[in-house]
Amino acid sequence: MLNSVCVLDFSINCSTYIAENNTCTKCNNLFYVSGSRCAPNNFGNCSLSDGIVNRCQNCSLNYYVNSQGGCLRQSIYQCAEFLLNVNICTRCNSGFALVNNFCQPDRSTNCAVYNSTTNICSGCSPEYYIVSAACKPLSSLNCLIGDGITRACIFCAQFYYRDAQGVCVRQDVANCETHLPNVNKCSYCLTGHYLQDGQCPSQSVVGCVAYIDNSNICVECGDRLTANSEGVCELTNGAHCVTPNIAQATCGQCEEYYQVMNYECVLVIPNCAMIVNNEYCSVCQNLYYLREDRMVCLPLTDHYCQTSNGTANACLTCVSSKLALVDGVCKVKAAFCAIFNSSDPTQCLECVAGYKF
């Protein structure tokens, strides 16, 4: 009651009250002076006010006082701990780093040269490279070891090789079973191919049926062929062959005096009665004799010869009794002769009756 008049009691929720004029100058916590009485603060999540103005001094846990004196939720992304009553982070969640009151993704993981103040990595471990100041795994690039800074790879993962730009490219040598590491070269080829300068061309020895693994060296050839010391197929019976035809396992062209018979070179000497070891003629047929090189049978120069020994240009017997053999030559005997010169029947020692010298 004031001056015998009933008025609202402004002492409610008031901590400093002047009864004479029913006036509150300071209210209880979470109230403020509105006119002469106490009104509740308009801001939620407040824990302490000054009791005079409509502002919060301290907010509840996880809230802070903003510029208008109200309480807002502390809201820095990925912050684990805040200073009380302010929106300032003191510690970030795992995997994040605190930089200038912001929680950034932690860039220290797999970093070899790290600035904790700026959360910047300037050099990664060899298995990583820098992207936006953080370390990313080179394994995503099929790389095992890098320089720790760039995407350039030093050593690539299995099945990949390092190209000139340091990029890991899939190994692709055709017909390769096993590649050398980190290069596009083969170390072991598939069956039917051989290793040559890191490549795998097809095994190509003509006439070969079996090779040394991973090589172009033949160890077994087809019929009528033999592998030589260099692993190449040659004619098993290739003597006197000038132009072998390995694909057909025969001779394409023989030496002079030889002809291809049954896939090999056979000595053919006309009028030869006996050929020795496919090398020369030892005896010619009758009325032929051997040339000095024994590769040709020549006809006897004596046309009156009946038989010869097949080696010399000499007669053994003549075709007529009217002929006499003198030093292997058939000569006409002396006519009407009764007694011949024994050493030369062409000369007469005594004539038959009725004839004289």
Give per-residue pLDDT as tens, 280-305: 999 999 999 999 999 999 999 999 99
pTM over 0.75: no
Counting residues of the chain whose pLDDT is more than 90, the rounded percentage is 70
The pLDDT tens digits for 309-327 are 999 999 999 998 888 888 8
Q: Coil, helix or strand for 237?
A: coil
Taking alpha carbons only, the member of 222, 184, 185, 190 closest to residue 203 is 190
Q: Would strands 102-105 and 96-99 be described as parallel, antiparallel, or unpaired?
A: antiparallel
Position 355 scores a pLDDT of 73
CA angle 141, 199, 219 (to 5 degrees): 140
Confidence of residue 4 (pLDDT cuts 50, 70, 90): low
Q: Would strands 71-73 and 63-65 be described as parallel, antiparallel, or unpaired?
A: antiparallel
pLDDT at 146 over 50: yes
pLDDT at 333 over 90: no
**CB contact burial 240-252 (16+ within 10 A = b; e otherwise):** bbeebbbeebbbe
**From the CB of residue 314, how many other CB atoms can be counted at a distance below 10 Å?**
16
Confidence of residue 197 (pLDDT cuts 50, 70, 90): very high
The predicted model gives 89-113 an average pLDDT of: 93
**Interatomic CA distance for residues 86 and 149, integer angstroms:** 39
The pLDDT tens digits for 221-259 are 999 999 999 999 999 999 999 999 999 999 999 999 999
The pLDDT tens digits for 201-226 are 999 999 999 999 999 999 999 999 99
Q: Using an 8 Å Cβ cutoff, are 63 and 57 in contact? A: no
The predicted model gives 155-182 an average pLDDT of: 95
pLDDT at 328 over 60: yes
**From the CB of residue 221, how many other CB atoms can be counted at a distance below 10 Å?**
24
The predicted model gives 115-142 an average pLDDT of: 88
DSSP for 304-357, please give it.
TEEEE-SSSS-EEEESSTTEEEETTEEEEPPTTEEEEETTEEEEEEEEPTT---
Confidence of residue 1 (pLDDT cuts 50, 70, 90): very low
Question: At a CB cut-off of 8 Å and minimum separation 6, what does 242 contact?
Answer: 251, 253, 254, 255
Taking alpha carbons only, the member of 103, 106, 45 closest to residue 76 is 103
Compare 180 and 355 and report the one with higher pLDDT: 180
pLDDT at 3 over 60: no
SS3 of the chain: helix, strand, coil, percent, to 5: 0, 50, 50
Q: What is the mean pLDDT of the chain?
A: 91
**Interatomic CA distance for residues 170 and 154, integer angstroms:** 15
Question: For the ranges 74-83, 243-252, 340-349, which has the lowest average pLDDT?
Answer: 340-349
